[in-house]
Every structure is written in structure tokens, then in C-alpha cells.
């Protein structure tokens, strides 16, 4: 049914619960698993004549180190479930866009991700990456709360 499952990971409790669901499904179906972590573009804040920013190189190094840590922890949890998996760091992208583009570029046929379940004003202000993936992906999406 699902031969290749893409699981979006960010290290949060919600993400770990989604991993568990994705791992259980992959194990039951004998599916290949790819764990994906997305790192947002280099942030800058400009105010008047001053531009404040973390140096690009330092940001990239910290983002890569964090991605490596999140992905290795998720891969270890996959191994404990009896699965082998690929890991991918998607740099310089917003979460939903990075997940959708990676899903298009690889032969995955299911995306699994967590959702914080925001509602009302917080959803309006903060948005929902899960909703963006759900509406933008060309493959089925399993959202776990």
C-alpha cells in the first residue's frame, strides 16, 4: 500500500508521537522510511539603519548541527523499532514547502507529521504547517496530534 513513508521530524514531543505512528505503519507494511528535518532560511531583522543578524556561516553551522542531532535521535528511535531509514536535512526552506518539495522529488507515497492542534487566534497568527502540507501535497498525509 505505502512503499515509502516520509516522516517529518523536528524533535518536539508532537513530532516524536508522529514518528511512533509512522514507524508502526512502516513496520506493519514493510515500507521504506525517510526522516526529514527542515531548517528555515537565515533570519534577519532590519530596523531603521541597523541590521541585526546572526552571521550566515554561524547560522548554517548551528542549523546543520541541530538537524544532525534531531535526525540521529529519530533514526535511533527507528532502529529500536526494528527499522532502517534514510535521513535528510532540507536547509533554507520553510517547513511545509520543504516537506512538499522533498515529497515531490522522491518516490514517497505517504507523508507523516505531527500537528500542535492550534485553534482560533493562535492558528491565525502562527499558521499551521500541517495544514499547508495537507493542502499542498500530492500524496496522502497522516497528521498526528
- For the chain, which residues make up each domain, given as ranges? 4-144
Listed as ranges, residues in the chain with pLDDT below 50 are 121-126
Tell me, what's the pLDDT at 49? Answer: 52
3-state helix, strand, coil in the chain (%, to 5): 45, 25, 30
Tell me, what's the pLDDT at 38? Answer: 97
The terminus-to-terminus CA distance of the chain in angstroms comes to: 23
Work out the widest C-alpha separation in the chain, in whole angstroms.
58
Task: Return the CATH fold of 4-144.
Answer: Rossmann fold (3.40.50)
Instruction: Report whether 133 contacts 141 (CB < 8 A).
Output: yes
**pTM as predicted:** 0.88
Cα gap 110→103, rounded to integer Å:
8
- How is residue 144 written as a grid cell? 498526528
Amino acid at each position: 500500500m505505502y512503499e515509502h513513508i516520509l516522516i517529518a521530524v523536528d524533535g518536539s514531543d508532537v513530532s516524536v508521537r508522529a514518528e511512533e505512528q509512522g514507524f508502526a505503519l512502516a513496520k506493519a507494511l514493510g515500507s521504506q522510511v525517510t526522516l526529514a528535518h527542515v531548517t528555515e532560511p537565515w533570519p534577519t531583522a532590519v530596523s531603521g539603519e541597523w541590521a541585526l543578524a546572526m552571521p550566515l556561516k554561524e547560522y548554517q553551522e548551528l542549523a546543520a548541527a541541530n538537524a544532525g542531532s534531531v535526525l540521529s535521535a529519530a533514526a535511533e528511535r527507528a532502529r529500536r523499532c526494528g527499522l532502517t531509514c534514510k535521513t535528510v536535512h532540507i536547509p533554507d526552506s520553510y517547513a511545509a514547502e520543504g516537506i512538499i518539495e522533498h515529497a515531490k522529488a522522491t518516490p514517497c507515497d505517504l507523508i507523516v507529521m505531527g500537528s500542535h492542534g492550534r485553534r482560533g487566534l493562535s492558528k491565525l497568527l502562527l499558521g499551521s504547517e500541517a495544514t499547508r502540507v495537507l493542502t499542498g501535497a500530492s500524496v496522502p498525509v497522516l497528521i498526528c496530534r
